Amino acid sequence: MNTQVLISDQKARSIATKIVEIDPAFSNVIANSKLCTIGRIKSEETPFYSLAASILSQQLSTKAADTIIKRTTETAGGELTPRRVAKLSQEQIRASGVSGAKTRSLTELSNVFLDKKSGVHKLHELSDSEISALLLPLFGIGRWTIEMFLMFQLGRLDVWPVGDLGVRRGWEKIHKARVELEPKKLEKLGDKFVGFRSHVAWYCWRGTELI
């Protein structure tokens, strides 16, 4: 089983060095970025909050997502927990600006977390594939949501979110690509980084800001 074990700053630097050795195009972005936080800094959020916030953020700008999360949290009494969400009616949740689909997803997620026998209570002990198998059947949770959860909540080092537009655009900028990169092609390009692809993705995001 894979449990969350934080990596050291030295390990993170070693990964950055390996990325540049494998693909020198990353040298400028890495040289001008802070050290990657994935797997190095423990998330202060609960698993439920992390997934709930991700659901509420889908297809929204960062500013809009923050507003919806804040409103929903206030509606839940100031804390976004399974028990508090489960007590809300659909009308109450929707009044916070949440769509019908997201309301259903949030409600179902809270019910799963309230089930004491559910595997969601030991997510940190499961492998990436086991977590995907457990969460994908839930309404409103897709590959991207799970990938972000694995990376930023559990600190998993080898997640490669090729469906994320920011990762693709960052890769394009870093490599000065003249055509848009398709997810399938980026999937193969990531093979040379197996073992620490989460960090590669993180630096791709930085590439969209620095280049």
The alpha carbon of 95 is separated from its chain's Cα centroid by a whole number of angstroms, namely: 26
pTM of the model: 0.91
Q: For residues 148 and 51, state if they share a domain.
A: yes
Q: For residues 51 and 149, state if they share a domain.
A: yes
Q: How many CB atoms are located within 10 Å of the residue 62 CB?
A: 8
| 153 vs 47: CA distance, rounded Å | 7
pLDDT, average across residues 118-131: 95
4 pLDDT tier (thresholds 50, 70, 90): low
Query: pLDDT tens digit string along 134-185?
Result: 999 999 999 999 999 999 999 999 999 999 999 999 999 999 999 999 999 9
Domain final residue pick, 137, 153, 169: 153
Overall number of domains in the chain: 2
What would you measure as the largest C-alpha separation in the chain, in angstroms?
54
Q: For residues 132 and 201, state if they share a domain.
A: no
Q: For residues 96 and 120, state if they share a domain.
A: yes
Indicate whether 123 pLDDT > 50.
Answer: yes
Domain interval for residue 179: 9-42+158-210
The CATH number for 24's domain is: 1.10.1670.40
With beta carbons less than 8 A apart as the criterion, state whether 27 and 20 touch: yes
Indicate whether 2 pLDDT > 70.
Answer: no
Domain final residue pick, 105, 122, 153: 153
Question: What pLDDT score does 185 carry?
Answer: 97
Copy the structure tokens of residue 73: 């949290």
104 assigned to some structural domain: yes
pLDDT, average across residues 92-106: 96
> Which of 1-5, 118-122, 139-143, 148-152 has the least mean pLDDT?
1-5
Indicate whether 3 pLDDT > 90.
Answer: no
The CATH number for 89's domain is: 1.10.340.30
Question: What pLDDT score does 211 carry?
Answer: 73
Q: For residues 74 and 30, state if they share a domain.
A: no
Q: For residues 127 and 170, state if they share a domain.
A: no
